[in-house]
Amino acid sequence: MAPERGRCPDSDSFQDPALGGMAASGHLALGTLPRSSWVRGSGPAVLSRLRDAALVRPGFLSTAEEETLSRELEPELRRRRYEYDHWDAAIHGFRETEKSRWSEASRAILQRVQVAAFSPGQTLLSSVHVLDLEPRGYIKPHVDSIKFCGATIAGLSLLSPSVMRLVHTQEPGEWLELLLEPGSLYILRGSARYDFSHEILRDEESFFGGRRVPRGRRISVICRSLPEGMGPGGPQPTAPLISSASKSPINRSAGLLKRLQGPRPGVLSRRSCRQPPRAGAAAASGGGHRERPRRCSGWAGSRARRGLCPGPAAGPASGRAGCGHRGGSCLHSSGR
């Protein structure tokens, strides 16, 4: 079972209270504190078992490096809204993206992560998972699918501290907790990756031993190795790891299911064309939209950002009946 808050089970599983002031003031210098300062567990056996499988490297990033990553990610994240209705309720209060293009400075940081966390024979997924949790956000226990992620996961923590808890999937009494300070690197591999679920504790549960770890906004930059048998030149994952709205490494099927089902009969999709058809198009298509309209591919401007058709194009129609959008068909002209 999960540890009771505030109790000190033993010296190996409870961090030094002196860490409280140091952690609150910023980064921790690597090697200046014992391992028990940022890793605690249910007992010596699990601590020994996961000594090389669940690692934390506090102070991996300098303050300048953390700011470099945060500045680069902020414009992309700001365009997305926090979500609270994850399809299986695994994540709450989050926004995320997959990023494969980085500045030179950020690429140098990610190269250091690769050297520190992955073996020379491991190939990394080309896209890096960026997960932004608001102060009230959290991640419930889960084990990443072996179809979409290999044997090693490594994550950089930005902006605020948090507590990651690992619990054995078959023996709930075996657990490990990691204190993830801003600028730290955590590494999960082997048994910690496959045999233990991991989660980020919500604010009201965010304790490390007897010390409160108040949650703030947290950004994690997560690198993952390719699934087994998917090296260079081999097959790639057959489904995307993530999209802006409905898929993450935890959620891989809900978005596809929605696309297959389409909008409900008689209900216009929020991402479909909503302009009335021209008179000619109405006659040609039987009066307008069918039950499952297709979105217009001629999006432009602010209406496009809201998922709406921008309406008839200026000037004469481009050889099509209907809205006259240039480039791509629209429901107005196709009636489909």
- Interval 315-328: pLDDT, tens: 443 333 334 444 33
Please enumerate in sequence order all residues whose Cβ is within 8 A of that of 91, keeping only pairs 6 or more positions apart, or say none.
83, 137, 138, 139, 140, 248, 250, 251
Percent of the chain with pLDDT over 70: 56
Domain limits, CATH 2.60.120.590, in the chain? 19-254
What pLDDT, on a 0 to 100 scale, did the predictor assign at position 86? 61
Per the confidence metrics, is the pTM higher than 0.75? no
Integer Cα distance of 331 and 191 in angstroms: 52
Lowest-confidence segment of 24-28, 88-92, 246-250 by average pLDDT: 24-28
Which range scores top for mean pLDDT: 156-165, 257-266, 310-319? 156-165
Which range scores top for mean pLDDT: 61-75, 141-155, 218-232? 61-75
What pLDDT, on a 0 to 100 scale, did the predictor assign at position 35? 67
Q: Is the pLDDT of residue 335 over 80?
A: no
Strand partners, 124: 225
Average pLDDT over residues 152-160: 98
Q: Is the pLDDT of residue 77 over 70?
A: yes
58-93 in b/e form (b: 16+ CB < 10 A) is: bbbbeeebbebbeebbeeebeeeeebeebbeebbbb
Integer Cα distance of 50 and 229 in angstroms: 25
Half-sphere exposure (Cβ direction) of 56: Cα atoms closer than 13 Å: 29
Average pLDDT over residues 272-281: 46
Nearest CA to 3 out of 16, 14, 11 is that of 14
What pLDDT, on a 0 to 100 scale, did the predictor assign at position 264? 44
What pLDDT, on a 0 to 100 scale, did the predictor assign at position 3? 53
Average pLDDT over residues 179-206: 96
Lowest-confidence segment of 35-49, 167-181, 232-246, 274-288 by average pLDDT: 232-246
What pLDDT, on a 0 to 100 scale, did the predictor assign at position 301? 42
What pLDDT, on a 0 to 100 scale, did the predictor assign at position 148? 83
Higher per-residue confidence, 218 vs 301: 218
What pLDDT, on a 0 to 100 scale, did the predictor assign at position 91? 85
- Given pLDDT bands bounded at 50, 70 and 90, which one contains residue 302? very low
Q: Looking at domain 19-254, which CATH architecture does it have? A: Sandwich (2.60)
Integer Cα distance of 225 and 306 in angstroms: 35
- Given pLDDT bands bounded at 50, 70 and 90, which one contains residue 247? very low
Higher per-residue confidence, 320 vs 127: 127
Average pLDDT over residues 2-31: 38
Which residue is listed with tokens 């926004």? 95
Average pLDDT value for the chain: 72
Q: Is the pLDDT of residue 282 over 50?
A: no
Average pLDDT over residues 238-242: 37
Q: Is the pLDDT of residue 51 over 70?
A: yes
Higher per-residue confidence, 93 vs 326: 93
**What's the distance, CA 11 to chain centroid?**
34
- Given pLDDT bands bounded at 50, 70 and 90, which one contains residue 84? confident
Give the CA-trace dihedral at 142, 47, 132, 95, to 10 degrees: 0
